[in-house]
Amino acid sequence: MNVNQHTPMASPYGQPQPGYGQPGFAPVDGGYPAPYAPYNGPASAYQPGPPPQGPARGPPTSGAPSAPQQYSQYSHSQGDMQNGPPPMTQAPPRPAASQPYNQGAVNLSGPQPSYPQHYGPQPSMQQVTNQMTGMQITSGPPTPAGPGYGTFGWIYISVSQPPVNTAYSAAPPHSYTQAPPPASSAPTQPPAPSPPPPSQQPFNSSLPPTSQQQFTSHAPPLPSSQQTFPPSSYSGPAPTPSHAPAPPVSQPQQSFPPTQPPFSSAPPPNSHPAFVSGPPPPAQGSFQPRAPPPSSQPGSFPPHGPMPPQQQPPPSQLPPYHSGAPPPRVQMPPTSMAQNNHLPPGPQGPPGPPGSMQQPPPQPGIQGGYPPQQNGAFGQVRGPQPGYAGPYPGQPNYGAPAPAPAPAPAAQKRLDPDSIPSPIQVIEDDKAKSTEPFATGVRGQAPPLVTTNFQVKDQGNASPRFVRCTAYNMPCTADMAKQSQVPLAAVIKPLATLPPDETPPYLVDHGEGGPIRCNRCKAYMCPYMQFIEGGRRFQCGFCSCVTEVPPHYFQHLDHTGKRVDCYDRPELSLGSYEFLATVDYCKNNKIPQPPAYIFLIDVSYNAVKSGMVNIVCQELKTLLDYLPRENPEMDSVVRVGFVTYNKVLHFYNVKSSLAQPQMLVVSDVSDMFVPLLDGFLVNVNESRLVIESLLDQIPEMFAETRETETVFGPVIQAGLEALKAADCSGKLFVFHTSLPIAEAPGKLKNREDKKLIGTDKEKSLFQSQVGFYNTLAKECVAQGCCVDLFLFPNQYVDVATLGVVPVSTGGSVYKYTYFQALSDKERFLNDLRRDVQKLVGFDAVMRVRTSTGIRATDFFGSFFMSNTTDVELAGLDCDKAVTVEFKHDDKLSEETGALMQCAVLYTSCSGQRRLRVHNMAVNCCSQLADLYRNCETDTIINFFSKYAFRGLLNNPTKAVRDTLINQCAQILACYRKNCASPSSAGQLILPECMKLLPVYLNCVLKSDVLMPGADVSLDDRAYLRQLIGCMDVPESHVFFYPRLLPLFESGSLPVAVRDSEERLSKGGVYLLETGLHLFLWVGASAQQELLLNIFGTPSFSQIDPSLTSLPVLDNPFSQRMREIIESFRAQRSRYMKLMVVKQEDKSELIFRHFLVEDKSASGGASYVDFLCHMHKEIRQLLS
């Protein structure tokens, strides 16, 4: 059972679900298998829903098309989301009527649509939706059926707060709803006639154009009404339309149902029942709902509407949601909405046409490949249609959903994926918006997203590269904070590497007295200090205490009260800078020794056999010339030492005066000590010959070893003792292969027990097996001994326990499961090189000071804390981030805002003691709406994931998941209740800046850590859990929502597509990046020319799936591809091995695992399903 066995993998899948059946994948890579194995057969997972689709897909390559359609829809939906409003608009046109329908959804903008699916899925849903649609459309008319259900209509208001709009894009969202309605909706809608398939409509809502489609779709149901809807919700249009078409064919409702089914179809029905009931109609409706909050409400409600009878009630509900935001948006939004819409439109645009096409019954035809969709029956929906390749092809989808349904009529209506908020859309919007350098001078200004390339100008606050906050408008009071449940946290990466065009923090020397600090709170001099009394004193911005300015630091003030030298002094004008620390800041009041690096290499049988030993030794010979140094001109002062070990340790004396290195064996592992002092830690240049001789001989010496047992605890102890003996801090590089079962302290036993997963005891698997390592970690921290662990396991090694020391000392764990010299060498070496070369601070202490009113209460990351305030890091490198949570302990004022100062005292790699200071000021607000206007979802997710992953240590996984969902629901419910304009309860309304919260949260919930597939080994989970702990926002973002790039032309970097199978075109080639993995997915019918350009072979079947790098071919496309891959790698702290995944190949299962918007093989909900669920949660909270 173990672990990683490939073979096992198979079984896992095989099991129940069709999808899983495919065992193959797991095996794929040595390394991966285990982890990913879980995946089902690729699509299969989805298929459930798909079945219907399946057929669709299969048959027509179109299958793909259909898929795409759906996707496109989604994408649209995203657009829609934004558009959501549009629906609203639509709604507006026909308030009541529209509501029932998707329109409602429309309002929601994209997101909503999707939800329904899960929940609503059930037949009834569909019907409902249909009805809804109908309802909406005409309001009463066709919908009737839906009536009762209507309630479900979900309205996602992507635009959280219309008001926000004012500031930024925020507005846009709103605009969506609003905007959409006006323009597009109307027009398109007309076509709606097709509406019958109203359900689809919702989706369409997103894009005006689509909306049209929607209309059509909707139309079917409610000819006229629909029309209105669709238009209203931009997206709405699209989706519905598609459906519409279908509907026409079948019955509107039916069509819908089918659509839904695909998603949650079968399963959902039951599971979601709750939703269903409501949802069914709502589902669609709901999605759409968004669109026209106000109007939409009606419209969106339409879903509710669908339940005409019930509708009424629903409507009411809806209103509530919308209430806050919706209304405003509707109107306001228009413009903004428009924007949003626009975006979507873009995509939609394309789809639009098809959509529109589709909408009309013709849709099928329209879609071309897609057609099926509409038919619903076809189910093609999912199938990635070649045509869709385009990012936003979506629209068709709407219909698509329906199509699927066809087969499974039961299936309720699906949400149009395009109508729900699209991460890609948001990312692209932000990119488009962020053209100017980001100046940090304005307090409370949220920086561009992490996915955006931007330049930073430090004008008094720390660059977002150093500090990112969850909220840039902090609530003034604890009550507000509690009510909103928005986490107040900052992700701090103190030693982050800046791009070359930005200046690294200046080094300030305040002389012998050391840095100037506040007398009371000890905050360091910073721009927030107010100089008074002509400059003789300064008042602390954090604690308000007044402190004398030392004579040597005195300076006059100018007429504005600023010091004259303000701009000459980094500490008075910048957000980030460094102080030179004095001896008072050193351990034992002694200037620290330069740090040392010790390499500890496992030379047991496995290590030698896998080639690891040889590779490490070879590499070190050159790598040692690149030890970190601050001045590139100088030699590094870092000393090095070498140890090899199996179940005993071998130290090496590499003193420069020796002709040959000497090996000192220490077998007394129960009581580790360092056998030599002089000659163990040496300067590389002085001892070069001896070191090279040693590195040459190590592989030879152990070539014939038959020792398989290893120790681990004593290895770290040895390094620690060596550093102690040399009285310096430093870093240990441990290269380890197996579970340390040899008799020694820290001995472990194999405790991997799959049976514990899912039980209350599961948490124990994440805890350290023995207390030994915790104690050891503490000692390491005290000495400033940072441990980096490179693992090369062939079976369970208990990462949870082995990782304790690295994690507590600010080190890293690298894991190369089933390491094979040939295929993994490059990844390992790149990681090693980077790890050895990167700048790192030692023996660091970080302290976060805040202004009165809030307090840093909790910290997440790789470090150790012996008290509640000081974060102790034996080592802190440029890739490590610490997430800090703040809590109120008093009131904040809007006037002064909230200040925080993060000071890190560390020893640089040249042995200099320094203080790095990052200052950050954010606004405070007394209105919840302001809070919701200025949040950063990526950072929130970073916080949530760390919070949850740490929670795993003490709570059952399920509880952790539930907590996450709850908090998320509360955040959104609070918004809905307090900020959104009144609207039907059936509407899902999301704050603009958090509209991706559900999709991202779903990704967190679906991660291997929180929801392991059958083949995910315990080690992998523990590894990931620890890995996330110190990730910064850019990495956690891509980790949870991988970047999926279509590679078609050689031009500029293509726009990413959403992580869903439906977005994949069989004829395309895609690159997927997670920060840890890099996949190149090749469609089965990729053009020969494309393949020739990339692989040098025109034949799909001749592509070698074991490639780890692309062949160097002399054509622009190949070159471009390689550049892209290189640039991706350069952006991440760990090297990503390239995996070529051929469509339909076994390895595709692994790949599919990263299509996070889809349902996962391990049971993770699809985006749409989850959105529905989230909506339900919110509704429950509100009622």
Partner 1 sequence: MTSYQEFIQQNEDRDGVRFSWNLWPSSRLEATRLVVPVSCLFTPLKERPDLPPVQYEPVLCSRANCKAVLNPLCQVDFRAKIWACNFCFQRNPFPPSYAGISDVNQPAELMPQFSTIEYIVQRGPTAPLIFLYVVDTCLEEEDLQALKESLQMSLSLLPPNALVGLITFGRMVQVHELSCEGIAKSYVFRGTKDLSSKQIQEMLGLIKPAASVQQGRPPAPQDPAATCRFLQPVHRVDMNLTDLLGELQRDPWPVPQGKRPLRSTGVALTVAVGLLEGTFPNTGARVMLFIGGPPTQGPGMVVGDELKTPIRSWHDIQKDNARHLKKATKYYEAMANRSSVNGHCIDIYACALDQTGLLEMKCLSNITGGHIVMGDSFNTSLFKQTFQRVFSKDYNGDFRMAFGGVLEVKTSREVKVCGTIGPCVSLNSKGSCVSENEMGIGGTSQWKVCGLNPSTTLGIYFEVVNQHNAPIPQGGRGAIQFVTQYQHSNMQRRIRVSTIARNWADAQSQIQHIESSFDQEAAAVLMARLGVFRAESEEGPDVLRWLDRQLIRLCQKFGQFNKDDPTSFKLSESLSLYPQFMFHLRRSPFLQVFNNSPDESSYYRHHFVRQDLTQSLIMIQPILYSYSFHGPPEPVLLDSSSILPDRILLMDSFFQLVIYHGETIAQWRKAGYQEMAEYENFKQLLLAPLDDAQEILQTRFPMPRYVDTEHGGSQARFLLSKVNPSQTHNNLYAWGQETGAPILTDDVSLQVFMDHLKKLAVSSST
Helix (H, G, I), strand (E, B) or coil at 668: coil
Helix (H, G, I), strand (E, B) or coil at 531: strand
Distance in Å, CB of 678 to partner 1, minimum: 4
**Tokens, residue 973:** 């419910």
Residue whose CB is less far from partner 1, 668 or 1123: 668
Q: What is the Cα–Cα distance from 351 to 70, expressed in whole angstroms?
A: 10
Beta carbons within 8 Å of 256's beta carbon, 6+ residues apart: 125, 126, 127, 129, 130, 133, 197, 198, 199, 200, 243, 246, 247, 284, 376, 401, 402, 405, 412, 413, 414
Distance in Å, CB of 923 to partner 1, minimum: 58
Distance in Å, CB of 603 to partner 1, minimum: 13
Residue whose CB is less far from partner 1, 637 or 663: 663
Residue carrying the six token digits 């509907």: 247
Distance in Å, CB of 589 to partner 1, minimum: 19
Residue whose CB is less far from partner 1, 4 or 738: 738
For residue 328, what are the CA distances in angstroms to 163, 315, 491, 972? 7, 18, 33, 18
For residue 781, what are the CA distances in angstroms to 667, 745, 847? 25, 19, 16
The angle that helices 171-178 and 333-342 make with each other, rounded to 10 degrees, is 90
For residue 156, what are the CA distances in angstroms to 113, 237, 497, 1167? 8, 15, 38, 14
Q: What is the Cα–Cα distance from 89 to 94, expressed in whole angstroms?
A: 8
Q: What is the Cα–Cα distance from 957 to 580, expressed in whole angstroms?
A: 45
Residue whose CB is less far from partner 1, 325 or 649: 649
Residue whose CB is less far from partner 1, 678 or 760: 678
Residue whose CB is less far from partner 1, 1 or 677: 677
Distance in Å, CB of 3 to partner 1, minimum: 23
**Beta bridge partners of residue 682, listed in sequence order:** 640
Distance in Å, CB of 722 to partner 1, minimum: 13
Binding region for partner 1 (CB under 8 A): 648, 650-652, 658, 660-668, 671, 673, 675-679, 694, 697, 700-701, 743
Distance in Å, CB of 773 to partner 1, minimum: 22
Residue carrying the six token digits 């472990």: 748
Distance in Å, CB of 707 to partner 1, minimum: 9
- Strand 898-907, strand 467-469: pairing: unpaired
Residue whose CB is less far from partner 1, 167 or 664: 664
Residue whose CB is less far from partner 1, 601 or 694: 694
Beta carbons within 8 Å of 131's beta carbon, 6+ residues apart: 100, 142, 143, 144, 145, 146, 147, 149, 150, 198, 221, 253, 281, 305, 306, 307, 308
Pick from 242, 236, 224, 519: nearest CA to 380: 242
- Strand 730-736, strand 785-791: pairing: parallel
Q: What is the Cα–Cα distance from 298 to 313, expressed in whole angstroms?
A: 11
819: alpha, beta or left, given left = phi > 0 and alpha = psi -120 to 50?
Answer: beta
Distance in Å, CB of 858 to partner 1, minimum: 42
- Give me the count of residues in the chain: 1183
- CB distance 81 to 290 below 8 Å: yes
Distance in Å, CB of 1084 to partner 1, minimum: 52
Distance in Å, CB of 616 to partner 1, minimum: 17
Residue whose CB is less far from partner 1, 715 or 799: 715
Q: Tell me, what DSSP letter sits at residue 821?
A: H
Distance in Å, CB of 731 to partner 1, minimum: 24
Residue whose CB is less far from partner 1, 424 or 723: 723
- CB distance 89 to 181 below 8 Å: yes
Residue whose CB is less far from partner 1, 675 or 956: 675
- Strand 596-602, strand 639-645: pairing: parallel
Q: What is the Cα–Cα distance from 403 to 373, expressed in whole angstroms?
A: 4
Residue whose CB is less far from partner 1, 642 or 1151: 642
Q: Is 1099 exposed, middle or buried (0-12, 13-18, 19+ CB in 10 A)?
A: exposed
Q: End-to-end distance of the chain based on CA atoms, in angstroms?
A: 47
Distance in Å, CB of 795 to partner 1, minimum: 18
Distance in Å, CB of 648 to partner 1, minimum: 7
Residue whose CB is less far from partner 1, 658 or 878: 658
Distance in Å, CB of 664 to partner 1, minimum: 5
Helix, strand and coil percent figures for the chain, each rounded to 5: 45, 15, 40
Residue whose CB is less far from partner 1, 436 or 671: 671
Residue whose CB is less far from partner 1, 588 or 667: 667
Q: What is the Cα–Cα distance from 456 to 444, expressed in whole angstroms?
A: 15
Residue whose CB is less far from partner 1, 308 or 679: 679
Residue whose CB is less far from partner 1, 695 or 904: 695
**Beta bridge partners of residue 209, listed in sequence order:** none
Q: Tell me, what DSSP letter sits at residue 935?
A: B
Residue carrying the six token digits 């002709």: 659
Distance in Å, CB of 652 to partner 1, minimum: 8
Distance in Å, CB of 677 to partner 1, minimum: 6
